[in-house]
Amino acid sequence: MQHSRGNIVQSLLHTWYAAFDLFEPKELGLLFLVTLNTMVRSSAVILYYFSWWLLVWAGYIDLYIDGSGIFCHLWEYATPLYYGIGFEPRLYLITLAVSVFIFLLAVRSSLEAKRFLYFVRQSKRLLFFIPFFFLLPHIYIFPVFWLSSFFLLDARHSIRGFFYSLYNGCVLSVLYAPFLVCIGAAHGVLFHIHRFVWEMTSLDEYHFAPYAAKYTTSLVLYLLFVTMLYAFYARVVQANSANQVFLRLKHTHQ
């Protein structure tokens, strides 16, 4: 037993050491280019299909309920869902969950054209995505929620696929922890700078123009983080489909 544990620890340390290869200029440059390309493509889809209703509604409900800028502050959503007073906090959280789901769908690669029907067909996955959203912590330096969600969107729509995705997301987060902690911490710093800058201004966030700017920049920062994670996910997981570390039922790009 001790020998087996020693082999696991040794293998994990070896994987952590190999994860630093992703910090090489060539790898970082490729990751950055893929991130920018994915961000441009997904932004166009989101703006075309969702900017005029979902994002406008999300901005309004965020301002009405909290006003701190969407995606900027909470790291877990189960507590306000259970203990929030009244219907309004729950409406805010459901709006946020749907918005994140749309972002993930827009970012992931797909053989199907990213038209509105694509999002309608994928909406069945909300049944399994919602537990991920409310039960997994949204921590930038340990992004198991986002990585598990990417696995979920690529897996067969089933109970087993749900648990396989959770397992795979946890394994990927642990195996590449040194790299993920660094990019997560860097993005967390960006969000703190974003919040600090807006707190230092004398503009009233309940005026339309400053809040719209604050809301928009928070969306851009969040989309940047999600696309960066997906570029990493595609580089490590999709580019190595023979990797037996991850449990796979069916690898699809619907």
- What count of other Cβ atoms lies within 10 Å of the Cβ of residue 225? 23
Is 251 inside any structural domain?
A: no
DSSP assignments along 134-171, one per residue: HHS--BTTB-HHHHHHHHHHHS-SSHHHHHHHHHHHHH
Is 243 inside any structural domain?
A: no
Is 188 inside any structural domain?
A: yes
How much is the pTM? 0.89
Is 2 inside any structural domain?
A: no
Is 227 inside any structural domain?
A: yes
Q: pLDDT value at position 68? A: 61
Number of independent structural domains in the chain: 1
Q: pLDDT value at position 86? A: 79
Block mean pLDDT (10 aa), the chain, length 254: 55 77 87 94 95 90 72 77 81 91 95 92 95 93 95 92 94 92 91 82 66 86 95 84 69 45
Cα–Cα distance for residue pair 70/181, rounded to 1 Å: 22
- Domain that includes residue 153, residue range: 17-238
